[in-house]
Amino acid sequence: MALIVQKFGGSSVADPAGLRRVAKRIAQTSKAGNKVVVVVSAMGDTTDNLLDLAHNVTDNPPARELDILLTAGERISMALLAMAVNDEGVVARAFTGQQAGLHTDARYGNASITGIVPERIFRTVQDGAVAIIAGFQGVNDTNDVTTLGRGGSDTTAVAFAAALGADVCEIYTDVDGVLSADPRIVPAASQRRELSYEETLELAAHGAKVLHLRAVEFARKFNVALHVRSSFSENEGTWIVEETAKQGGYEDAVVVGVAHDRNQGKISVTGVPNLPGSAAKIFSCVAEADCNIDMIVQNTALTRVGLSNISFTVPRDQVDIAVAALRANQAEFGFEDIAVTSEIGILSIVGAGMRSHSGVSSKLFKTLGDNGVNVDMIGTSEIRISVVVDPDVLDAAARAVHTAFGLDASEEAIVYGGTGR
């Protein structure tokens, strides 16, 4: 008898028909002899509609009240889903975050989980009932309701899977699993059958719509096996596990995914005095303005002795904030000017195999070169290479690189035959 945590997103439970479909799957898992804990998001557009209501009432909703408002969405879906599961002949009980014992800090709108006291959930599944938990929400030390931010239902599911020692945390979605690229850009994108936590984190952090970053970090920290799969089919989806727990086989690919990101901007600070600590001052200043720097390039300004140029990328909606913070310190820092390129494209390839395989970067740059793509900046981690390119050629570059690293679906299909988890 396994303990399974299942997480269903808002699109899976958008209407009564969806709720009943999901309920059937939950009941089936329970009837197969498993203990089942479910985490559910708000139905369809409920959260957005509640946000709209708030903004119809005031331009500045207080954070505490906004959180308690938004949690109404999951309260509705969890109660209805419990009713639907009961209707399938399996006893189910619904629990708010507070009732389920999910404790957070007091940062409304983006709270962090400080602890889980899953006693009531544990008792519920011990009694043979299904526990249905409202995702995305918790309670802080003053008994006030908090939300974990968008995507927080994934985190809720993983956190309960960790706290309960679940065998697997199933993340249900409307596709069959995690793909090697965004199929709207790369039609040949293929489904991955397994990824490591690190690969998933790198993909998610560089533009891939996979899972909420925090959820994957949580899963890695507590070694929770994730299974991303479709709520519309019985197919195996994508398993996200420790690198060492990967089954390997056909999947021992060097590169597992191609991510793209159009939501970054580039800031170039020119004429920076070439003195120790100059760069540190600039990056500290930007970091203190709460801007997240991703890639950095520093090069000596060839024409000007003693000066250098520093370029870095930040999320596009943080570009103005970062520039303003730097301008405010221009005299002190002594740089000459700031140039902004708000439209850039970033292409990333990710794969744990890079650690042990050489030739990955040369293949990447050869492919880009053969396709006439200029590389503006380069950033790397142990298992990732990212390049900044002209946004107009980003899609074509992604397709070419995807093909070059053998990720296209047709090739995968051939390899699929001999394997299977």
**128 contacts a copy of itself (rule: CB under 8 A):** no
Whichever of 56 and 362 has its CB closer to a copy of itself, that residue is 56
| CB of 68 vs a copy of itself, minimal distance in Å | 5
- Minimum Å gap between C-beta 233 and a copy of itself is 23
Among 3, 14, 51, 68, binds a copy of itself (CB under 8 A): 68
By CB under 8 A, is residue 321 in contact with a copy of itself?
Answer: no
Tell me if 69 contacts a copy of itself by CB under 8 A: yes
Q: Is 93 in the site for a copy of itself (CB under 8 A)?
A: yes
In the complex, minimum distance from the CB of residue 34 to a copy of itself, in angstroms, rounded to a whole number = 21
- Binding to a copy of itself by residue 57, rule CB under 8 A? yes
Nearer to a copy of itself, 72 or 188 (CB): 72
Nearer to a copy of itself, 63 or 185 (CB): 63
The CA distance from 321 to 338, in Å, is: 13
Residue 64 contacts a copy of itself per CB under 8 A = yes
Stretch that binds a copy of itself, among 67-75, 221-229, 288-296, 327-335 (CB under 8 A): 67-75
Q: How far is the CB of 200 from a copy of itself (least distance, A)?
A: 34
Residue with tokens 């006893």: 91
Q: Which residues in the 106-125 window bind a copy of itself by CB under 8 A?
A: none
126 part of the interface to a copy of itself, by CB under 8 A: no
Interface segment toward a copy of itself; rule CB under 8 A; list 76-84, 248-256, 267-275, 359-367: 76-84
Residues 9-28 that bind a copy of itself (CB under 8 A): 16, 19-20
| Complex with a copy of itself: residue 19 or 404, whichever CB lies closer | 19
Cβ 159 to a copy of itself, closest distance in Å? 20
Residue nearer to a copy of itself on the CB measure, 80 or 259: 80
Site for a copy of itself in 142-171 (CB under 8 A): 143-145
Beta bridge partners of 171: 7, 228
**Euclidean distance between CA atoms 391 and 389, whole angstroms:** 6
| Residues between 379 and 408 that touch a copy of itself (CB under 8 A) | none
Nearer Cβ to a copy of itself, position 19 or 171? 19
* HEC secondary structure over the chain: CCEEEEEECCCCCCCHHHHHHHHHHHHHHHHCCCEEEEEECCCCCHHHHHHHHHHHHCCCCCHHHHHHHHHHHHHHHHHHHHHHHHHCCCCEEEECHHHHCEEECCCCCCCCEEEECCHHHHHHHHCCCEEEEECCEEECCCCCEEECCCCHHHHHHHHHHHHHCCCEEEEEECCCCCECCCCCCCCCCCECCEEEHHHHHHHHHCCCCCCCHHHHHHHHHHCCCEEEEECCCCCCCEEEECHHHCCCHHHCCCCCEEEEECCEEEEEEEEEECCCCHHHHHHHHHHHCCCCCCCEEEEECCCCCCEEEEEEEEEHHHHHHHHHHHHCCHHHHCCCEEEEECCCEEEEEECHHHHCCCCHHHHHHHHHHHCCCCCCEEEEECCEEEEEECHHHHHHHHHHHHHHCCCCHHHHHHHHCCCCC
Q: Minimum distance from CB of 51 to a copy of itself (Å)?
A: 11
Residues near a copy of itself (CB under 8 A) are: 16, 19-20, 50, 53-54, 56-62, 64-66, 68-69, 71-72, 75-76, 78-80, 82-84, 86-87, 93-94, 96, 99, 143-145
